[in-house]
Structure 1
Amino acid sequence: MSSSDVAIIGVGLHPFGRYPGKSALEMGEDAVFDALTDAGIEWSDVQELYAGSMEVKNPEAIVGLLGLTGVPGRAVFTGCATGATSLAMAANSIKLGEHDITIAVGLDKHERGAFAAHPSVSGLPGWYGEAGLFLTTHFFGMKINRYMHDFGITPETLAKVSAKAMRNGAANPSAWRRKALSEEEILNSQILNYPLTQYMYCGPDEGAAAVVLCRADKAHLYTDTPVYLRASTLRSRREGAFELLSPSLPLESVPSPTVDASKEAYEIAGIAPSDVDVIQLQDTDAGSEIIHMAENGFCADGDQEKLIAAGETEIAGRLPINTDGGLLANGEPVGASGLRQIFELVNQLRGRAGDRQVNDAKVGYAQLYGAPGTAAVTILST
């Protein structure tokens, strides 16, 4: 390992859910100290901090709780890709030789209800979302409808995705939703935007996650089980607002940012989709997980129906996806969600995921997609 390689030596999580009376920064504080304990270091050892949040406009103010050491602190926000962006920036600081130990933390505290268009996220005027013309349920409902029409995906397959998420969440002591649900219960729950029902869609909530990074050649000083960052890519859309908002855009006309980010990450890491052992995909809704399976190279469009029916995406399957329950079981505090994925992958690669453990996991893959059309991919390995 060279001084420009990067290892993860500690991860921490404040469980996602609802915490009245507790601020996002306080949840972030808990996640950071959890990660520091995991890494076996003190806050004073951290040389740079990247903090991501949607609701907290200056999340780097978390240093007021962690300790005023003078550490450089930078705020990060790239929609739902924020977690991967903060991780990449913390890693790049090490790659450039600026620091030996850095930390990425994500934190958020959202109100109840679906995300609506907001000028800072979507580029649309505020009244657009306030009038109900752009809710995330609408967008994802339209998107999976088009995909189902083109590739023969059925509502029953959407229900299988959600049922898997709830089963995995039930086995995850940190998950928000910890009750397994049958496919029938999911199909018969309240429709949010056809074909998505209540339990096919994630909910905005609260929580935090943190990751401690270190020069790979020094990782042995802190842990016997470092996890190495092999690739971290971020790509934006090519077609402007039309690509983001219109389900009538031909899916094959231009690569999505997820496809771009995924191909670049595989090339940088020097691996193929078949080399990946455990997968985290953005599952804002059950349909997103299905679409992202193909966009990240794990199957062809339309093959998801048979793969999911055969149990291939289950923990014991060939393509274990969202082993911690994903967004469907954990909800989505935007700034923290991507680092929650890394928390799960690191625990899987270290063999400490308990009842959710994937056998002999050596390569982990995480993907994020968020408004206004930004995608990120991270690849980890032992």
Structure 2
Amino acid sequence: MERKVFVVGVGMTDFVKPGTGGDYPEYGKKAVEEALADAGVKYDVIQQAICGYASGDSTSGQRVLYQIGMTGIPIYNVNNNCSTGSSALFIAKQLVEAGLIDVALVLGFEKMSPGALGGGNFKDRASPLGKHVEKMAEMTEVVKGPLTPQYFGNAGLEHMKRYGTTKVHFAKIAAKNHRHGAKNRRAQSKREYTVDEILNSRKIYGPLTKLMCCPTSDGAAAAVLMSESAVIRYGLQGKAVEIIGMEMATDTPDLFTDNSFMKIAGAQMTAIASKRLYDKTGVSAMDVNVVELHDCFATNELITYEGLQLCGEGQAGKFVDDGDNTYGGRVVVNPSGGLIAKGHPLGATGLAQCAELVWQLRGEAGIRQVKNAKIALQHNLGLGGAVVVALYKKGFTDAKSKL
């Protein structure tokens, strides 16, 4: 029988430009210590730990956690591209949910190289995204330079062609996220930009300009998960935020048979995972008050609105124009500033999203606080591919209580 799973502690470092914030053991340690302090527990209560990072040597998770304690517990190291952090969270949630453990620690961290994401760490073997590149090349010219903005730039162009979306819609999304990020002391970018400034920033690819793209970043985030019985044992009912559902999806064969840039960029994975999540939980997108989604590029945020059912197919442009993605609208998307403003240290992103949503549901988000936030939605995407979506609920209700 599946058990309830709760987040009882979260921690997060500042997200900073690569090379300016020290080394990964330092900020990994800081995030874990913050999460443990937030939960009010010591490291020796942790039964298993799952660590996520997309670049780095094997057992880097142990290198971080051994500074805090060497208790002999299992420590796993996870790499699932940009969805690494939420993939680690998904594993921990399943361990607690299945009754294998009562207390788990999840850590995500990254120490990145400056500049745009490269084409992989290894040049002497097949690229995990090689088939994706081949499919993209069937439909358009693959130009010299970073591939990531080409995936998401082409996806944006496809949405524009299908539904009449414009560059202004993408610029409005980026402006919204920079505006939100200016209120986040942990964000890498704290400056607001106008729509015109975003449209006139350096062209990257297709409709994308520099200010529509997330920056590479260093940083870490962590979370402590507990079963219902552990929450009661440690007296953490007031801290607990329930993960009411979590789903992961990977690509399906029509990624390579259909001619869709949006599928190459993970839109179908998002739709599959979110449908499973809503079906299993009985919660709909209309019940959600606050969202942290994977805005690696402004084009992806717009496309993701539809995959998460925040609006209907082809309606994302109107959703943006109506202001339904920010304070005063239907739902607040990326109050943290998202990846575009907050930054994107790959392994840490999924845990940073979790932290923001926990703060929102506890009412601890300060000037970013979403009024009356009760249900939160998380979306984290990794090409190659994996999408993780999760729903969180405010407050603790034990199995003996009525909802």
Which interval holds the TM-score relative to the shorter structure?
over 0.9
Q: Is contact 2:2-2:98 (8 Å) kept?
A: no
Q: Which amino acid aligns with 1:59?
A: S
Residue in structure 1 matched with residue 61 of structure 2 by the alignment: 60
- Partner Cα separation in structure 2 for residue 40 and residue 249 of structure 1: 43
Q: What's the CA shift for 1:13?
A: 0.2
Give 2:98's aligned residue: 96
In 2, distance between residues paired with 1:84 and 1:344?
13
What is the aligned partner in structure 1 of residue 116 from structure 2? 114
Given that 1:26 and 1:65 are in contact with CA atoms closer than 8 Å, whether structure 2 keeps it comes out as: no
Is 1:214 the counterpart of 2:214 in the alignment?
Answer: no
Partner of 1:361: 373
**Which of 336, 361, 386 in structure 2 is aligned with 1:324?**
336
Partner of residue 178, structure 1: 190
- Identity over aligned residues, as a percent? 32
1:380 pairs with one of 374, 385, 392: 392
Q: Structure 1 residue 233 and structure 2 residue 247: aligned? A: yes
Give the counterpart of 2:181 among 148, 151, 169.
Answer: 169
- 2:89 paired with 1:87: yes
What is aligned with 1:15? Answer: 14
1:350 deviation in Å? 0.3
In structure 1, what is the Cα distance between the partners aligned to 2:384 and 2:331? 28
TM-score for both structures, normalised by structure 2: 0.88
2:164 alignment counterpart: 152
User: In the alignment, is residue 247 of structure 1 matched against residue 247 of structure 2?
Assistant: no
- The answer on whether the counterparts of 1:5 and 1:217 sit within 8 Å (CA) in structure 2 is no
Distance (Å, rounded) in 1 between the aligned partners of 2:65 and 2:324: 43
Q: In the TM superposition, what is the alpha-carbon distance from 1:244 to its structure 2 partner?
A: 10
Opposite residue 5 of structure 1, the aligned amino acid is K
Native 8 Å contact 1:155 1:195 kept in 2: yes
Structure 2 Cα separation of the partners of residues 21 and 120 of structure 1 = 30
Deviation at 1:134, TM superposition (A): 5.2
1:6 pairs with 2:8: no
3-state SS, counterpart of residue 186 of structure 1: helix
- The one-letter amino acid of 2:41's match is I
Secondary structure at 2:56's aligned position in 1? Answer: coil
**Any gaps of 5 or more consecutive residues in structure 1?**
none
Please report how far the alpha carbon of residue 316 of structure 1 lies from its aligned counterpart in structure 2 after TM superposition.
Answer: 2.6
Distance 1:107 1:99, change over 3 A: same
Structure-to-structure mapping, 1:274-313, within 5 angstroms: 274-313=286-325
Using the alignment, how far apart are the partners of 1:303 and 1:166 within structure 2? 23
Q: After TM superposition, give the deviation of residue 231 of structure 1 in Å.
A: 1.0
* Letter paired with 2:43: W
Counterpart in the other structure of 2:80: 78
TM-score by length of structure 1 reads 0.92
CA distance in structure 1 between the partners assigned to 2:248 and 2:197 by the alignment: 37
In the alignment, the residues of structure 1 paired with residue 130 and residue 258 of structure 2 have an alpha-carbon distance, to the nearest angstrom, of: 11
CA distance in 2, matches of 1:243, 1:168: 39
Cα root mean square deviation, aligned: 2.5
Amino acid at match of 2:310: F
Q: Secondary structure at the match of 1:15?
A: coil
SS in structure 2 at match of 1:66: coil
Q: Name the CA distance, whole Å, in 1 between partners of 2:358 and 2:257.
A: 33
